[in-house]
Structure 1
Amino acid sequence: MKIFISADIEGTAGILNWNEAEHGHADYAEFRALMTAEVLAACEGARAAGATEILIKDAHDTGRNLMLDPLPAYASIIRGWPGHPDSMMFGLDASFQAALCTGYHSKAGTEDNPLAHTSNLRISRLILNGEVASEFTMNALCAARYKVPVAFIAGDAGICAEARTMVPGIATVETLQGFGAASRAISPAAARIAISEGVEKALSGASLPAPVTLPEQFEVVVEYNNPVDAYRASWYPGAKSHGPRAVAFTASDFFEIQRALRFMNS
């Protein structure tokens, strides 16, 4: 059984401040280690369920966050960003039985996590087919392109609730709940136990969740905080201005949406 893990950091148990998520800050080392520990817990759970091969995408910021030496021999890792539109799901293909998400966070414009955002801090909202979308939204649809189900997610309460609505049957571990600039989190030790057990149970069940159904048509609207970013993005082929700070793009193939966002959000 081949398993793919997309690992972020802003939904790691206990995280609160951007200094804890960014290279160069003294607080980062602790949360880099905690992010790694949650990924290791997911690997252990997958292995217990019968996984023989695990591919991990380090999917936060620089793509150089996870500590390498603790990774098990049956896992491999993609670090950095090749520029491919699959982005946080790069490396996934149809040969995988399931995808897992760790350290995931709520979408921009919500209050479930002080670090809530979508893709980057220049975006105020990402709207897909009339609904405000998260990174999980886009990544679950990316997995659906390969007909791979997303079977598990660990992250803040908001993104777990969203995942349960989008993917009926998905297993979730809620690591924290935001309250303005504060949060309440479970302990890292409790998170690791819950992630390991949750992944094992999710992958050992009689059936996995179905891959998300891809709509026949897509319209993505990117609302930026700064009109300068909207103007620049409007020059992507097929993109159109959608108000003073927003750009819209339509396509029938979700990969074309991913490709557009790859350039419009850079």
Structure 2
Amino acid sequence: MKVYISVDIEGITGVTDWNETELGHGEHIWAKEQMTKETIAACEGAMEAGATEIIVKDAHDSARNLDISKLPKGVQVIRGWASSPESMMAGIDESYDATIFVGYHSAAGEDGNPLAHTMNSSKATYIKINGELASEFWMNSLISAYYNVPVVFLSGDKMLCENSKKLVPNMEIVAVKTGIGDATFNMHPDLACESIKEGVIKGLKNKDKCQVETPKELKLEIGFRRHQDAKRASYYPGVKQISANAIEYMAKDIQDLMIARMFVL
């Protein structure tokens, strides 16, 4: 069994402030250690469930956060960015049997995490798909579905986990934190790792029931902080500027949508 694991940091237990997410900042040291531990837990769960090949995508910011020397032997890690539309899912294809998400967070426009955002927090105030606020998890799960790979597990903040069960009802979730204002209420780091391992095992055993339903139409809407960025994005073929700060784009599939996002955001 071949498993793909995409790991972010804003949904890791304890992570609360942007300083903790930035490579090179002193506060990042503990956060990346816990990010690594939660990734190890997911890998161990996958191996216990029968995975023979595991690929981990370091999917946060620099994509150079995980201490790969601490991961189980045999696990392959994708560091850095591949300059592909799959972005946080770089390298996924039809050969995988399941996708796992660790450390994910609420979408821009939601209040489930002090660090809630979608893709590019410096430029976008929100991203919507078919009129609904889109999280990075939703977009990436649609990429997984594009390659017919089921999504079996998600960990992150409570709001994201609860909302995402509506998209993939049979996947396993572990909410390691709850966000309130600028605060987070966090699960103990060791318990978070134990819960992630157990959840991954359960999710992989149930993978045949975890296919992601893909909408027939995909309308991308992006709200920009600066009207100049919306104007610039409007020149991408097929993009329509719908207000001073927002654009929309009708995509034929998630690959088309992610290519447009890559160029306009």
TM-score bin (small chain) = over 0.9
What pairs with 1:121-200 in structure 2 (closer than 5 Å)?
121=121, 122-200=123-201
Give the TM-score normalised by structure 2.
0.97
2:95 is paired with a residue of what secondary structure? coil
Specify the alignment match of 1:105 in structure 2: 105
For the 8 Å contact 1:143–1:211, the answer to whether it is kept is no
- 1:80-137 Cα shifts (integer Å, max 9, x gaps): 1111000111111111110000000000011110000000112111111111111011
2:259 is paired with a residue of what secondary structure? helix
Cα deviation for residue 70 of structure 1 reads 0.6
Gaps of 5+ in 2: none
Matched, 1:226 2:236: no
Specify the alignment match of 1:15 in structure 2: 15
For the 8 Å contact 1:57–1:90, the answer to whether it is kept is yes
What pairs with 1:46-125 in structure 2 (closer than 5 Å)?
46-121=46-121, 122-125=123-126
- 1:122-178 Cα shifts (integer Å, max 9, x gaps): 211111111111101100100000000110001000110121110011100001101
> Equivalents in 2 of 1:88, 1:215: separation in Å?
21
> Equivalents in 1 of 2:208, 2:32: separation in Å?
30
Which segments of structure 1 move beyond 6 Å, counting only runs of 4 or more?
Answer: none
Specify the alignment match of 2:29 in structure 1: 29
For the 8 Å contact 1:167–1:209, the answer to whether it is kept is no
Cα deviation for residue 232 of structure 1 reads 1.7
Specify the alignment match of 2:209 in structure 1: 209
For the 8 Å contact 2:167–2:213, the answer to whether it is kept is no
Specify the alignment match of 2:254 in structure 1: 254
The one-letter amino acid of 1:167's match is: V
Count of residues in correspondence between the two structures:
264
Cα deviation for residue 210 of structure 1 reads 3.3
Cα deviation for residue 76 of structure 1 reads 0.2
- 1:61-94 Cα shifts (integer Å, max 9, x gaps): 0111111111112210111111100011111111
Cα deviation for residue 202 of structure 1 reads 1.4
1:166 is paired with a residue of what secondary structure? coil
> Equivalents in 2 of 1:61, 1:15: separation in Å?
14
- State percent identity of aligned pairs: 43
For the 8 Å contact 1:4–1:99, the answer to whether it is kept is yes
Cα deviation for residue 201 of structure 1 reads 1.6
For the 8 Å contact 1:150–1:209, the answer to whether it is kept is no
Gaps of 5+ in 1: none
1:175 is paired with a residue of what secondary structure? strand
1:242 is paired with a residue of what secondary structure? strand
> Equivalents in 1 of 2:156, 2:214: separation in Å?
24
